[in-house]
């Protein structure tokens, strides 16, 4: 089916449909609600290709070993061992160190939050092991910037919906959504990302999406075709 361009009203309807189905998501999940921002940076790296339950265990081990700050993480000689539950621990320890060194050298949140989003994204992408998705998670949840996280769940749903097709191109999808999304409303993107994850897990499965019970099916290319097919079959 031909790709269609998202519009501001269509994106709002997409968001609102999912919000009505799943309710407020209140992401990003943190263990210390009084001091969430640095934990979000750490979680964004640890969750790369890793189940969130294992990330939670690794963060709990880091918190047991000392304060969850950039200086404390850089001082851990045993950082790979502390995060061993979160996948390839030597690789992720190197990525965490790179992120912490940048964070400390730049002056922490007080200084970094004065930078515009494009500059922050560019600096994050220049760090070892920080790709587009991780950079946008950090921008969105740690810096409250309006950034669309074009993760695998977003691609799955938006390909079926008809908003992207062909070879997956992160920047192309991110820019097409941000071009029509609300300016200066990080809360919209925060909920949108979390709702997309909820929808992918509960309805728009990798195989056999449950289009017949999906709130988006009357606007989704794949859903319309699936429902028409099931009606022809009866
Ligand atoms: S209609 Fe089907 S394919 Fe489209 S978003 Fe819903 S579950 Fe996914």
Closest CA to 92 of 136, 68, 58: 58
220 CA closest ligand 1 atom index: 4
CA of 211 from ligand 1 middle (Å) equals: 5
Q: What is the distance, to the nearest Å, from the Cα of residue 217 to the centroid of all Cα atoms in its chain? A: 24
Question: What is the arithmetic mean of pLDDT over 150-176?
Answer: 96
What is the band of 215 on the pLDDT scale with cuts at 50, 70, 90? very high
Provide the mean pLDDT of the chain. Answer: 94
CA of 191 from ligand 1 middle (Å) equals: 18
Domains of the chain in start order, with CATH, are 8-26+148-229 (1.10.1670.10), 36-142 (1.10.340.30)
- Residue-level pLDDT at 234: 66
Q: Which residue has the higher pLDDT, 231 or 21?
A: 21
What is the band of 35 on the pLDDT scale with cuts at 50, 70, 90? confident
Q: What is the distance, to the nearest Å, from the Cα of residue 80 to the centroid of all Cα atoms in its chain? A: 24
**Omega before 28 cis (within 30°)?**
yes
- For residue 39, is pLDDT > 90? yes
- Residue-level pLDDT at 33: 84
What is the band of 175 on the pLDDT scale with cuts at 50, 70, 90? very high
Separation CA 211–CA 225 (nearest Å): 9
Q: What are 74-130's pLDDT values in tens digits?
A: 999 999 999 999 989 999 999 999 999 999 999 999 999 999 999 999 999 999 999
CA of 194 from ligand 1 middle (Å) equals: 16
Separation CA 121–CA 44 (nearest Å): 14
């Amino acid at each position: 089916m031909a790709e269609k361009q998202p519009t501001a009203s269509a994106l709002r309807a997409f968001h609102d449909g999912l919000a009505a189905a799943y309710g407020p998501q209140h992401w990003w999940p943190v263990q210390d609600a009084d001091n969430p921002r640095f934990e979000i940076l750490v979680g964004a790296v640890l969750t790369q290709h890793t189940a969130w339950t294992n990330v939670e265990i690794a963060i709990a081990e880091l918190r047991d070993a000392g304060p969850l700050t950039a200086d404390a993480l850089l001082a851990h000689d045993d950082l790979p061992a502390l995060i061993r539950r979160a996948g390839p621990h030597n690789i992720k320890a190197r990525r965490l160190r790179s992120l912490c060194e940048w964070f400390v050298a730049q002056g922490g949140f007080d200084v970094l939050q004065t930078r515009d989003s494009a500059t922050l994204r560019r600096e994050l992408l220049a760090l070892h092991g920080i790709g587009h998705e991780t950079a946008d998670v950090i921008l969105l949840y740690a810096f409250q910037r309006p950034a669309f996280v074009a993760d695998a769940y977003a691609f799955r749903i938006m390909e079926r919906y008809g908003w992207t097709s062909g070879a997956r191109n992160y920047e192309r999808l991110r820019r097409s959504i941000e071009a029509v999304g609300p300016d200066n409303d990080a809360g919209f993107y925060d909920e949108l990302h979390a709702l997309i994850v909820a929808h992918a897990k509960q309805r728009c499965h990798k195989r056999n999406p449950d289009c017949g019970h999906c709130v988006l099916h009357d606007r989704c290319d794949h859903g319309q075709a699936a429902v028409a097919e099931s009606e022809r079959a009866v």
